[in-house]
Structure 1
């Protein structure tokens, strides 16, 4: 089993709260993680029909069969169970009695916040990170990594094919999550929308343009985006802006939580195809941005990640918040260094010097070097983890 970096966070929170709720996409390793951390806990999987019926029809009997401490999987199947969890927490007044997992936040956001307010800590788990793979002795070339993605199943045994896995994953997601929500009445159009969205990863979200291509209203597009975000299929990166100027673009960008899933939707199934595809650069950016998200989640930190873009064409791919200031990064898929990679960084830092915590650098896919004409570069597979700890992986003094 691949060790997950979020483990110390969960152990700490289990000592501070009666329950810990783990949200994350399907098959990202929530159950495996919970069972490995607490093998002595009872385990109830609400995807199982009989277990679900018991929880719905006789919740008191449910807790006789699955006594505390207990792992309750896929709570979105029976959200009403949380009301009894609240009562039992208040009666028992013990820490670390429940691990609750969920892959769909649409039904749960209000329920968890109302029923378990102050009683549960919420953590987000995403698929494996580059650092977690590296610690397990797994390292891939850029194009193979983009095709394979980061779902744990693909790395549990050799020879598993990403295209077969993601085909099944898409069917599971649509059948279990989207169909159950009831907000999607035309699955064929929703699948077309999902594919169009994959072609726009790393780009500004334009609901009106998408609605014209899919043939539904922009309101529906907004609703579908909310479903995807709540299901942890996509991540919305918000822009950073200040009140000093009105020249900042305030439209968010879209990324897929697993780049392999986005590649599958685009019909890219081999490294050779990836290398030739015009969207490879955006998929590489997708991978690196999600590495930053994973690093924040795995460290139990707030999600202070942004991008910058103004109407004059100045853009910085990623801004990482650090104590109310920013570390800027440019992301380049190329294998060759170029001083042009740092132009936007330099312009941004000179424009907002008081908002910069560290000067950041460029993440790219060529050979690693420490400096190039006064600027920092690093390969995405360097031994130093990306975006971790309080210090950035590399800094530059201009």
Structure 2
């Protein structure tokens, strides 16, 4: 598989000609380093995970940066937050575009330091694991279940690693490294239990009190732990759509994972057959399609404005996206057989918002329009 052929490449290359800094954030092992090197193969590469380089950068930031100029990739730059103010000074003095590529897997650290030091000087892009569009030509996966289990992490696909071998090790490494760096958690077993419970609630409303009761921790800790999963690109909250339509709207966010391979692993789902009969089959399909739509937008350098909608009468739309002044409403169904009932939520929502473009994404093969609603197979998102 050609790992360098990422859809984000064109946007990143364009931004390097306009800004002194380009930051690439995303989950650990989503391919950020390889992407940065492919973008500028002649740039010097500095990995700040290495203790000796990190020590140099921390003890003498100015000397460190003067040693690496005229095209540099600073990998895992959030490990040395002291660098950011010095980067601003040196960049302003040199007044050159495209000189620095920064990567990091902890979004909140990068964003916090960028907002303080590099605002207006930096372009920020998010590189998530492979999308279906990126791997479709180079994989033998055919079903959505197979892709959901496999997830999109480059190493898993490059080396054809079984999900049951890749994801438990990924999760354990993530907890031992990233979580320990951010939180002082004495019992990591409880944190892993929290992740498993969260996976079981994929596509559901985030109920802090429920987690608090089941884990024996306070709600503040629950929210803090979820914030860490968000900051490190493991899970995210999907907010409710803000338009009221003169009805009471459920405002609690829903929970999803950035990669369904992680969610499936946490749920103990190992095969397509396991997923086909699992209680989370529908939510995992929802999760897969939502992240595919997210990736499509992020790979264009755009921030996806996505939501779900539900009123107090249980009328619901799985996904709503605002784009270019338009509103697109998606119903997401894991069934391979089309039923007219699938259109109920979309038709109800369209009465409230007639300007909406409604679309049903499901696991079957129909590609048509019915009652003004586009019906598409899950592979036909782009």
TM-score, normalised on structure 2?
Answer: 0.95
Uncovered stretches (5+) of structure 1, i.e. residues with no partner: 389-398
Give the deviation of 1:65 after TM superposition: 4.2
Once the two structures are superposed, the pairs formed by residues 284-295 of structure 1 within 5 Å of their partners are 284-295=285-296
1:325 maps to what in 2?
A: 326
Give the deviation of 1:241 after TM superposition: 2.4
Uncovered stretches (5+) of structure 2, i.e. residues with no partner: none
Once the two structures are superposed, the pairs formed by residues 362-373 of structure 1 within 5 Å of their partners are 362-372=360-370
**Alignment partners' CA distance in 2, 1:377 and 1:347:** 16
**Alignment partners' CA distance in 1, 2:366 and 2:326:** 27
1:186 maps to what in 2?
A: 187
Deviations 1:217-250 (A, max 9, x none): 1111111111110111012111102254351000
1:379 maps to what in 2?
A: 377
Once the two structures are superposed, the pairs formed by residues 114-193 of structure 1 within 5 Å of their partners are 114-136=116-138, 139-158=141-160, 160-193=161-194
1:95 maps to what in 2?
A: 97
Deviations 1:350-381 (A, max 9, x none): 12225x2x2x2111111233245664321112
SS at match of 1:308: strand
CA contact (8 A) 2:65 2:87 kept: no
CA contact (8 A) 1:184 1:224 kept: no
Once the two structures are superposed, the pairs formed by residues 222-301 of structure 1 within 5 Å of their partners are 222-301=223-302
2:36 paired with 1:34: yes
CA contact (8 A) 1:285 1:332 kept: yes
**Alignment partners' CA distance in 1, 2:343 and 2:184:** 44
**Alignment partners' CA distance in 1, 2:31 and 2:165:** 19
**Alignment partners' CA distance in 1, 2:184 and 2:329:** 38
SS at match of 2:108: coil
Q: Greater shift after overlay, 320-329 or 239-248? A: 239-248
Deviations 1:186-213 (A, max 9, x none): 3121111110000011111011111111
**Alignment partners' CA distance in 2, 1:57 and 1:332:** 55
**Alignment partners' CA distance in 2, 1:265 and 1:222:** 19
1:351 maps to what in 2?
A: 352
What's the Cα RMSD here? 1.6
1:392 maps to what in 2?
A: none
CA contact (8 A) 1:339 1:373 kept: no
**Alignment partners' CA distance in 1, 2:340 and 2:93:** 63
CA contact (8 A) 1:339 1:372 kept: no
Deviations 1:294-313 (A, max 9, x none): 11111112321111001011
**Alignment partners' CA distance in 2, 1:91 and 1:64:** 12
